[in-house]
Amino acid sequence: MANLKGKVIIVTGAAMGLGLAAAEVLAWKGADLTLVDYNDEALNKTKEELASKFPDRKFLTVAADVSVEENVKNYVDQTVKEFGKVDGLYNNAGIEGKQASLVDYDINVFKKVIDINLLGVYYGMKYVIPELQKNGGKIVNVASVGGIRGVLNQTAYVATKHAVAGMTKNAALEYGKDNILTNAIAPGAILTPMVAEAFKQVNPDNPKAAEKEYASRNPTRRLGNPEDVAHLVAYLLSDENGYVSGQVIAIDGGESNMY
């Protein structure tokens, strides 16, 4: 299963959730990784765990807030300094914001969601693409089913995830000529710390009941696992993906097809 051997991949939001699960699968498949997160403590713990599981891989950690342009430039510079190249970017860091109706949405939270989910993804592509132009490469941006559908009480999140889908299409159009394939994934509800927090907001007294109710509406009658997503990401970042580009790929047990 070494189809990422010799690849250098940057994973943002690597300290937990979808980023952590992807980092594990990418390392298992042979990649050396730059792990980026603004939660320094959790990031270092993640690196220790990965290094002990995969002693033959190299892991660089860079503490960075993806909404700060200089931080993003720095994680790319550090990667090139350490590994001499970049082959892929898993542009995953993001936040949900708060659940509120459109009219009542707190504008400061709205702006923060834009800074992280939209500009963070944009800066990642802005600084990684010039490196990928040297030898070709792959980008996977993280949108959401909220990037292809509306989600009640999540206007800012939905706005930014639609923007991620749009930027993905543009990057694919503009840089396909440089052998850069760019896609977005659109996960449904995957059980990570972020989603656990959302269920707490939906039903503060009984978040497990909210989770169960949500899962009952899915065709598969379950939530997704971070590992389900990680394997799709690994494929999209590998050489086995030779021609998929500009797509927003739902990974949601089929739920977004339901009327």
Residues binding ligand NAD (CB under 6 A) = 13, 15-19, 37-39, 64-67, 92-95, 116, 120, 142, 144, 187, 189-190, 192-195
Handedness of CA 127, 39, 252, 22 (dihedral sign): positive
List own/partner pairs for 72-77 with CB under 8 A and 24 or more apart.
72/120, 72/123, 72/124, 72/126, 72/127, 73/123, 73/127, 75/10, 75/12, 75/34, 75/36, 76/10, 76/127, 76/128, 76/131
What burial class does residue 241 get, using C-beta atoms within 10 Å of its C-beta: 0-12 exposed, 13-18 middle, 19+ buried? middle
Q: Helix, strand or coil for residue 160?
A: helix
Length of the chain as a residue count? 259
> Smallest Cα–Cα separation from 76: which of 67, 64, 94?
64
* Single-letter residue type at 193: P
Q: Clarify whether 157 is annotated catalytic.
A: yes
Residue 70 · residue 115 · CB < 8 Å = no
Nearest distance from C-beta of residue 56 to ligand NAD, angstroms: 25
Nearer to ligand NAD (CB atom), residue 69 or residue 82 = 69
CB of 96 to ligand NAD, least distance (A): 6
Q: Could you tell me how far CA 155 lies from the centroid of its own chain? A: 19
Residue 46, CB-side half-sphere exposure with 13 Å CA sphere: 31
State the nearest-atom distance from the C-beta of 65 to ligand NAD, in Å. 4
Could you tell me the smallest distance in angstroms from the CB atom of residue 98 to ligand NAD?
14
38, 123, 127, 157: the catalytic one is: 157
Residue closer to ligand NAD, measured from CB, 45 or 58: 45
Nearest-approach distance from CB 246 to ligand NAD, in angstroms: 19
Partners of residue 62 on adjacent β-strands: 36
Cβ-proximal residues to 120 (8 Å cutoff; 6+ apart), any chain: 12, 66, 67, 72, 91, 93, 94
**Active site residue ranges:** 157
